[in-house]
Structure 1
Amino acid sequence: MGRGLILALILVVLLGGRWAAGFAIEYEWWHEMGQVETWIQMLSYGSVPVIGAGLLAFLTFWVAHARGMKHAGTGMREHPVYAKLATLAALLLGTLVAVSTVDSWTVVRWFGGHGLNSGAWRDPVFGHPLSFYFFDLPFLGVILHYLLTVTVVAALAHWLTARGWSLKDQLPEWNPQEGIKVDLAGFSLRGALDSGFLRGLGVFFLLAWAGKFYLDRYDLLLDDHGSLVGVDWVAENLTLPLLWLNIGGALIAAAGILMRKPKTLFLLVATYIVLAVAPMAVTAVYVRPSEITIQKPYIKRHIEATRSAYGLGAHVKEIDFAAKLEAPIDISKHRQLLDNVRLWDWRAFHDTVTQIQALRPYYVFHDSDVDRYQIDGQLRQVLVTPREIDVTQLPGDARARWINPHFIYTHGYGMVVAEAARITKEGLPLLLVQDAPAVVKTPSLKLTRPELYYGEVSHEPVFVHTKQPEFNYPSGAGNVETRYEGKGGFPISSIPMRLAAALSTGDWNILLTSYLAPESRMMIRRKVRERLEAMAGFVVWDADPYLVITKEGRLTWMVDGYTTSDAHPYSKIFDLGDVGRINYIRNSVKATVDAYDGSVNLYAFGDSDPLLQAYEHLFPKLFKPWSAMPEELKAHARYPELIFRLQAEVYRTYHMTNPEAFFNKEDQWDIARNLNGPSGKPEPVSPTYVVATLPGSDEPEFMLMTTFTPRNKDNLIGVMVARCDGGALGELQFLQLSKQELIFGPMQIEARISQDQNISKDLTLWNQQGSQVLRGQMLVLPVENTLLYIEPIYIQASEARMPQLKKVVVAMGNRLIYTDTYEQALSELTGSAVQPAQGKGQATTTESGKPPAQGAATQDAASRLKDEIQAHLKRYKELMAQGQFAEAGKEIEALDRLARQR
């Protein structure tokens, strides 16, 4: 017994010590973030509702037990030891009931969001605003569930106590021959209503059950009927009145229990049966035969609510785009647009950069992102990929040494930046930022803090300001070292903090190491998403952080955050995988994380979002207004791909606002398809960040785009665009094409590429002898009143994933141009000479990789004309030899246009 007690005490000390250590580390981390007050609020919000509910349940169970003993003719004072055990049991039972029935965050959100002005939207049946369904209704549901559970458990506790103590007095004396005979009749329910306390619990239970029927009315707003979600004709005209009938039945049954007339419960059962059977019968007999006529107004409600819930109401423009199959393009007018065409698919870029810029096996490029910068005074689309360290890729011996991942290999270094529209003569990306130490090839960018202590691949913990210098980057056969100069991390040098860190991580080397100095600091939660989830886990954080270079040369991660719900009335539910099943979403938060010191800022972006408003009330120091974000970071804010994909999925059906068309799915769309996926088979196109112009505007801007085709067809029917720049950030535009005129979709252009004799011959040849062809994502760009299609084609060796841009396909209408360079293709398409001017289009480079001088880059106009004529003549002869007379005629037309222009 003594040994067991000692072991139990040791176990308690160890568990308690680890909990205390974790608590100390958490405090230091929140102090580092400057959000200790927010942390305390989170702890209290997560525990106070459960503690309060547990104490109330404990008191109820204790009273129920005491009244049960009294009903049996005894009392707690007569059995002091039993009374202590019963009190402990009631406390444990109360805690269990509170934990299992009370969702603390539902309660807390009610306090934060109750009474908010949640906009003009109100449900058309009950007239409540969104805040009622996001906060009030879930809170009432939790309270009701809790009360029903407590009532049932208290009734059982009272009845079992009373019957148990009554039975105890009836037990016969012990007889060795006969044993003990127990009269199980003592546990029958007869006489249950003799107890006033039990009758009171029964009445309370039935009143709460009536409340459940009352709240069930609101569940009708989320019912999925197939053709619509929400209250339909049967629900409004039959189910709602029957629910009131059930409420009346529950109230009558409660009165019957109070008057000791339990047979009134049969009335409640009867009304429940009617509620279960009648709506189904009326639906089958009356609604189904004339469904569209009867359900028409309810379908309209469903369409409007779904569009609103997914952000397809306000800030949305639907434009009739009278696109022509072919139209002349003024190159000078659209110079900036055409010079920003992205020739590098991000996948090909990522594979190429991994080969030419990794520098060491332990450097990784986890992801490549598309962004825009002002380069040489003009808006330029760029590809950015950070260079991070993956310590699992260190050589075996180096990985095994504890000091390496914790003290030496603490951070990544720099990134690779390339203009999306420029290539070298070898078909590789033209890099603006490269190498280590970082080489920046444009005065428009600078990099003063290239170290990445916080990122997407970061490991932890690491220790900085130590006696051991840190690896910074490789240099020849050696390495360049550095020492951290920032404020990231928290102090770790004291013995108590080292002990706490050792206990919390289970790593005693932290306590024993001699490398820590008085100013040493410990960094944890270095992965960007983990850092944000720890700080604001109630926000859904995007899986794709992207890195931004500030004007001061620091690196900052930007991450989009979402507020979601599954409680929006009438709205269709979609499953977003890790996010869950939702029927409401807003991109209400944008976060920044400094890659050097880990400082975090959360900016409230959705002023009209009731969920965000509630969190701002609950955590007043956590969020900053959108206006407080520095302008240099606002310039890199973008519309997130996750919500864009979801909105595209919603819009392809819910662009039909006519109830009859929606019911019959007469005009349902699909996401357009192309062939650039790894499978080589047709796949839905991925949303693409592009620099393009919108109809009616000559100013290129950064936007996210995708395309639609009619259901089971491949011709284009619509273009979806999300604007990203300035005050237009968050605005959606839908370009709806004419149904009477055929406009080619991406898959149809892909088919024409595959069927072209010259192209297919090249693709077949390159896909042999140890090489592989990669087809980049096709860009579909609106230019004035037509659409331009551009697809880069890459070739890579089978043994090394380093794609090189080999060919470019440009198409418009029935014209398909296939050339070595984008400029050549554009020149053939428009009949105008396209000059790869310095800083624009495809770049020409010297052997050192640097752009040549301006005089060397500019060719004589006559020389350019001669080259173009020779190219057209060569192409004409090839096509004539292959019997492609129609295509050869187009080359003659191109020559004719050149002659007229000259």
Structure 2
Amino acid sequence: MIAVVAILFFVFTNLYTEVLWYNQLGFLSVLTTQWFAGAAMFGIGFFAMAIPVFISIEIAFRFRPVYAKLNSQLDRYQQVVEPLRRVAAFGIPAVLGLFAGVSSASRWQVTLQYLNRTPFGTTDPQFNMDISFYVYDLPFWQGVVGFASAVVLIAGIAAIATSYLYGAIRFGQREVRISKTARIQVAITAGVYLLLQAVSIWLDQFATLSNTGGLITGASYSDVNATIPGLQILAGIAVIVAVLFLLAAFIGRWRLPVIGTVLLIVSGLILGSLYPWVVQRFQVLPSERSLEQPYLQDNIDLTRDAYDVSDVDTIPYDATTTAAPGQLRADAATTSSIRILDPALVSSTFAALQQFRQYYQFPTDLNVDRYTIDGKTQDVVSSVRDLNLAQLGTSASWYNQTVVYTHGYGIVAAYGNQRAVDGQPVFAEQGIPSTGALGDYEQRIYFGENSPDYSIVGAPEGSPQIELDYPSGTNGASQTYTTFTGDGGPKLDNVFNKLAYALKFSSQEIFLSEAVNNDSQILYDRDPATRVSKVAPYLTIDSAPYASVVDGKVVWIVDGYTTTSEYPYSRTEGLSAAIADTYTPKPGYAPDNNINYIRNSVKATVDAYDGKVTLYAWDETDPLLQTWQKIFPSTLKPMSDMSAQLMSHVRYPADLFKVQRAILGQYHVTDAGSFYSREDAWTTPNDPTSPASNPTTQPPYYLTLQVPTQDAPSYSIYSTFIPLTGQDTSKSLNGYLAVDSNAGSTAGEKSADYGKMRLLTLPKDATVPGPGQVQNKFNSDPTVSQALNLLKQGSTEVLSGNLLTLPVGGGLLYVQPVYVRSRGETSYPLLQKILVGFGDKIAFEDTLDAALDDLFGGNSGATAGDGGITTPATGSGSGTGTPAGTGDNAALTKALSDAEAALTARTAALQAADWTAYGVADQQLKDAVAAAIAASGAQ
């Protein structure tokens, strides 16, 4: 009894803390709606199972033959069962009801969607039904029929077992004797069950429109001309056999229903399997292209609609492969924005230069964002400085982990198209507290992707501050402390709340510690994706939330998708497999997340300071979102409430783009005949920098670029396509997909071009090299190999950065940064070289400007702007490595000569891992650069 009470109390505290969490966040209605819906469905399932089973058992018992002569075995069974009969009569239905209730409760979403369904306004080509029928109605009614069939079947089994136990059904040597009551009960039960099967078979014809596998997703020729008519006939036969069973209940003859049952089984085999196979084998296969063409066209059209790629702008791009002087002059705006900083390689560089303490950390892959700096939009590589409590070592006490180290601090951002003279990033925002071009903002990160499981914050006004703010201070202090003043979590202002959370987190300190007071709050479920998924359980959350400075705060921007797998004629994609690439590894299991419809319907923000979650309806035309808005009213805000700064940081989500590019690999072909032949099927290339033993798909990249038909460069996400068959290193480029990712900077108003998809298609006879071919050329070029081998000498290693592809100069330009890293434990990558390729030509230089000029015959016609070397002292440069200004005098000449010598000495020291010599040369370089700036008169 004590154990039961303890278990119930633990369950109660878990539910109670959930109420506190949702209530504090302002989404309690989301929790209660789920609970009420689940409870109602549980009750329906419980009673819908328990009552029929109980009635079936009770009827069989009450109308048993009183004077039936039983064999000795049954007599012994009765003697065992009889003392427990009343318990079994109620217990068996109750236990079955519990299982049925749990199963029904899990389908609360299907039921609520059906009750609040919203029409799509589009019909399917086969039955002319609105798409909403397949998304809402069909799953609901299939569930109802399946559940009812299970109830009737179990009730029938219970009736037969009870009748047999009490002699209503007896088996002789040559016959079966059955009482009148048992006959009526069994026959009616069988008739009802067959009627339900008739309904199920009738519904199955609609499910053929979501069939997967083979050539077509949806109903094919054999489905339409054999399977669907066969299912309709089978449903009719099932109704007839059901009527025969109902007649047998009264006339007492079983011959007709038995014959009908055999006929139904044989018909099922013939109509459901044999006939469709005959049609497919002898009619379709000899003429498959012509017979399947209309159904294949339906598959193409509805797949493109379901994945929102029907409006892709296909642009023939006759890419040149010849590089000539001045060729990039018309693309100067694009080349000046080329990102040479690889967000996947500079995380350790950020950590080495900006982490400051072991209890801070940066994620493995940084974010590519953009900010308006000095009136110009700049692409930056950025990240929050989050906590890493695993590195506290001997200081990792409960007190330190829970009430002292409670938050990260600040954002670090580096210009994407700049590097310092030594290969370090040029920071637009740095230090702790952070300073730079992002302005003033609340820098404390209480809610992040690596925040502790829980922290206890807050204290009465005037009490000592114990939360470590950042590791520096004023008046000689080595640290600064703070007290959380926001509303970020449930309050621990009474004994019961403290006890509840002590049990939830299995921590007696929450209840006993003096650090927990009536003004304390407990912060948990702090990951932005987790918070959004809890308050919007109907959304599929993007795998890469990102943090931006918006309106004086750091906010996490999280993309949410509405999805379904019931869209007719639409190809099914495994979401986890579609988004897997170098940045997003495949899961170690096979999740059930197949989809064939997706919309980025919600943009969510999570305040990094107080954890506030705000949901914005981004795609208000989405029928799925409209349905969920009916279920959870008042939880979403309109897009018009989004501020101008928030709009400027919203981007086209990467996961949606990955799914769409997976679809467009084949469904860029809109003609059914061409699609059938697979003559132009594409795929996304493998990441050429991934290991050959474990290749990964090349991720899409965010860049500011200008695609043909665009008037100006725009922040975009892009990916490339190569032929589906063959090795990557032998494949030319077939297509280039770019999507305008700039939502604009007008409050509450989406840019007209946001989400515009442009697909550049190269001529089939083109020989534009693909990423694998270009990487192979980079690696095998004698000059490049020699230079890389020199960089690899000593204790250093060379790291190839992301291989970017840009449609400039009438062709496709490849750009790859090359990093050098010492093999020491405290080393980090430094950007030293730039590889570029255009057609069959490549170049390898210290700066992007120099590489482009070399590639295009000495003068590319465009400058890379800030893509060259910049000085650490100023954080800006001319893009050529030469300080701004003319200043042609002896002092300037000497300073430049000294800088060149110091740079050579420092590179040699880096290759030899001689850090003492490296430091001396680095200082000499800084002194020489400062002297050059002074001599030239530059600021």
TM-score, with structure 2 as normaliser: 0.83
Kept in 1: contact 2:329–2:862 (CA 8 A): no
Residue 126 of structure 2 aligns to a residue in which SS?
A: coil
| In 1: Cα distance, 2:119 partner to 2:637 partner | 20
Alignment of 1:312-351 (within 5 A): 312-314=309-311, 316-326=312-322, 329=326, 334-351=331-348
| Alignment of 1:465 onto 2:458 | yes
| In 2: Cα distance, 1:794 partner to 1:685 partner | 19
**Structure 1 residues 112 and 542: CA distance shift in structure 2, 3 A:** farther
The one-character-per-residue Cα deviations of 1:609-643 (angstroms, maximum 9, x if unpaired) are 22222111100122222222222111111112122
| AA in 1 matched with 2:732 | N
Question: 1:48 offset after TM fit, Å?
Answer: 0.8
Which deviates the most, 828-837 or 450-459? Answer: 828-837
**In the alignment, what sits opposite 1:567?**
566
| Alignment of 1:583 onto 2:571 | no
**In the alignment, what sits opposite 2:736?**
719
Residue 560 of structure 1 aligns to a residue in which SS?
A: strand
The one-character-per-residue Cα deviations of 1:792-823 (angstroms, maximum 9, x if unpaired) are 11111122441111111233334433221112
| In 2: Cα distance, 1:391 partner to 1:188 partner | 74
**In the alignment, what sits opposite 1:633?**
646
Kept in 1: contact 2:422–2:832 (CA 8 A): no
| In 1: Cα distance, 2:179 partner to 2:860 partner | 101
| AA in 2 matched with 1:32 | Q
Kept in 1: contact 2:60–2:182 (CA 8 A): no
**Structure 1 residues 237 and 308: CA distance shift in structure 2, 3 A:** same
**Aligned residue among 395, 398, 422 for 1:398:** 395
| In 2: Cα distance, 1:159 partner to 1:673 partner | 61
**In the alignment, what sits opposite 1:808?**
834
Kept in 1: contact 2:163–2:182 (CA 8 A): no
Question: 1:861 offset after TM fit, Å?
Answer: 9.5
**In the alignment, what sits opposite 1:484?**
484
**Aligned residue among 257, 264, 271 for 1:262:** 257
**Structure 1 residues 250 and 474: CA distance shift in structure 2, 3 A:** same
| Alignment of 1:72 onto 2:64 | yes
| Alignment of 1:104 onto 2:94 | no
Kept in 1: contact 2:325–2:860 (CA 8 A): no
**In the alignment, what sits opposite 1:773?**
798
Kept in 1: contact 2:330–2:809 (CA 8 A): no
Residue 475 of structure 1 aligns to a residue in which SS?
A: coil
Alignment of 1:582-601 (within 5 A): 582-601=595-614
Question: 1:555 offset after TM fit, Å?
Answer: 0.4
| In 2: Cα distance, 1:74 partner to 1:602 partner | 67
**Structure 1 residues 146 and 672: CA distance shift in structure 2, 3 A:** closer
**In the alignment, what sits opposite 1:844?**
870
**Structure 1 residues 255 and 427: CA distance shift in structure 2, 3 A:** same
Which deviates the most, 792-801 or 825-834? Answer: 825-834
**Aligned residue among 22, 37, 46 for 2:14:** 22
Kept in 2: contact 1:210–1:250 (CA 8 A): yes
Kept in 2: contact 1:690–1:704 (CA 8 A): yes
| AA in 2 matched with 1:357 | Q
Question: 1:46 offset after TM fit, Å?
Answer: 1.9
The one-character-per-residue Cα deviations of 1:358-380 (angstroms, maximum 9, x if unpaired) are 21222110141001111111111
| In 1: Cα distance, 2:787 partner to 2:778 partner | 11
**In the alignment, what sits opposite 1:540?**
540
| AA in 2 matched with 1:381 | D
Kept in 1: contact 2:821–2:828 (CA 8 A): yes
| In 2: Cα distance, 1:602 partner to 1:417 partner | 26
Which deviates the most, 123-132 or 192-201? Answer: 192-201
* Structure 2 gap ranges (5+): 68-81, 249-255, 577-590, 744-750, 901-939
Which deviates the most, 86-95 or 417-426? Answer: 86-95
Question: 1:213 offset after TM fit, Å?
Answer: 0.8
Question: 1:660 offset after TM fit, Å?
Answer: 2.5
| In 2: Cα distance, 1:687 partner to 1:427 partner | 25
Residue 342 of structure 1 aligns to a residue in which SS?
A: coil
| In 2: Cα distance, 1:639 partner to 1:413 partner | 27
TM-score, with structure 1 as normaliser: 0.87
| In 1: Cα distance, 2:731 partner to 2:599 partner | 31
Kept in 1: contact 2:607–2:613 (CA 8 A): yes
**In the alignment, what sits opposite 2:428?**
432
| In 2: Cα distance, 1:805 partner to 1:49 partner | 60
| In 1: Cα distance, 2:555 partner to 2:257 partner | 69
Question: 1:124 offset after TM fit, Å?
Answer: 0.9
**Structure 1 residues 689 and 268: CA distance shift in structure 2, 3 A:** same
Alignment of 1:162-311 (within 5 A): 162-166=163-167, 190-191=178-179, 195-260=183-248, 261-263=256-258, 264-275=260-271, 276-311=273-308
**Structure 1 residues 851 and 503: CA distance shift in structure 2, 3 A:** same
Residue 426 of structure 1 aligns to a residue in which SS?
A: coil
The one-character-per-residue Cα deviations of 1:268-313 (angstroms, maximum 9, x if unpaired) are 1221121221111222222222221221211111122222222211
Kept in 2: contact 1:32–1:489 (CA 8 A): yes
What is the number of equivalent residue pairs in this alignment?
Answer: 833
Question: 1:572 offset after TM fit, Å?
Answer: 2.0
| In 2: Cα distance, 1:610 partner to 1:117 partner | 7
**In the alignment, what sits opposite 1:519?**
519
Question: 1:523 offset after TM fit, Å?
Answer: 0.9
Kept in 2: contact 1:17–1:503 (CA 8 A): no
**Structure 1 residues 113 and 841: CA distance shift in structure 2, 3 A:** same
| In 2: Cα distance, 1:629 partner to 1:433 partner | 25
| In 1: Cα distance, 2:42 partner to 2:160 partner | 26
**In the alignment, what sits opposite 1:33?**
25
**In the alignment, what sits opposite 1:858?**
884
Question: 1:840 offset after TM fit, Å?
Answer: 3.5
Question: 1:526 offset after TM fit, Å?
Answer: 0.9
**Structure 1 residues 721 and 847: CA distance shift in structure 2, 3 A:** closer
**Aligned residue among 48, 52, 55 for 2:44:** 52
The one-character-per-residue Cα deviations of 1:24-68 (angstroms, maximum 9, x if unpaired) are 211111111111122211111222122123123222222222211
| In 2: Cα distance, 1:35 partner to 1:541 partner | 18
| In 1: Cα distance, 2:863 partner to 2:493 partner | 58
**Aligned residue among 709, 724, 730 for 2:755:** 730
**Structure 1 residues 435 and 86: CA distance shift in structure 2, 3 A:** same
| In 2: Cα distance, 1:393 partner to 1:265 partner | 70
| AA in 1 matched with 2:850 | Q
Residue 28 of structure 1 aligns to a residue in which SS?
A: helix
**Aligned residue among 378, 381, 399 for 1:380:** 378
Kept in 2: contact 1:47–1:104 (CA 8 A): no
**Structure 1 residues 356 and 189: CA distance shift in structure 2, 3 A:** farther
| In 1: Cα distance, 2:849 partner to 2:88 partner | 87
Which deviates the most, 741-750 or 352-361? Answer: 741-750
Give the CA RMSD over aligned residues: 3.1
Alignment of 1:753-764 (within 5 A): 753-764=778-789
Kept in 1: contact 2:868–2:877 (CA 8 A): no
**In the alignment, what sits opposite 1:119?**
121
Residue 13 of structure 1 aligns to a residue in which SS?
A: helix
**In the alignment, what sits opposite 2:92?**
89
| AA in 1 matched with 2:12 | A
Question: 1:488 offset after TM fit, Å?
Answer: 0.9
| Alignment of 1:647 onto 2:642 | no
Residue 566 of structure 2 aligns to a residue in which SS?
A: coil
Kept in 2: contact 1:134–1:611 (CA 8 A): no
**Aligned residue among 745, 748, 752 for 2:773:** 748
Question: 1:786 offset after TM fit, Å?
Answer: 2.8
**Structure 1 residues 861 and 582: CA distance shift in structure 2, 3 A:** farther
The one-character-per-residue Cα deviations of 1:650-688 (angstroms, maximum 9, x if unpaired) are 211122222232222111123235532255987643211
Question: 1:200 offset after TM fit, Å?
Answer: 2.2
Residue 870 of structure 2 aligns to a residue in which SS?
A: coil
**Structure 1 residues 680 and 503: CA distance shift in structure 2, 3 A:** closer
**Structure 1 residues 372 and 579: CA distance shift in structure 2, 3 A:** farther
**Aligned residue among 343, 357, 370 for 2:354:** 357
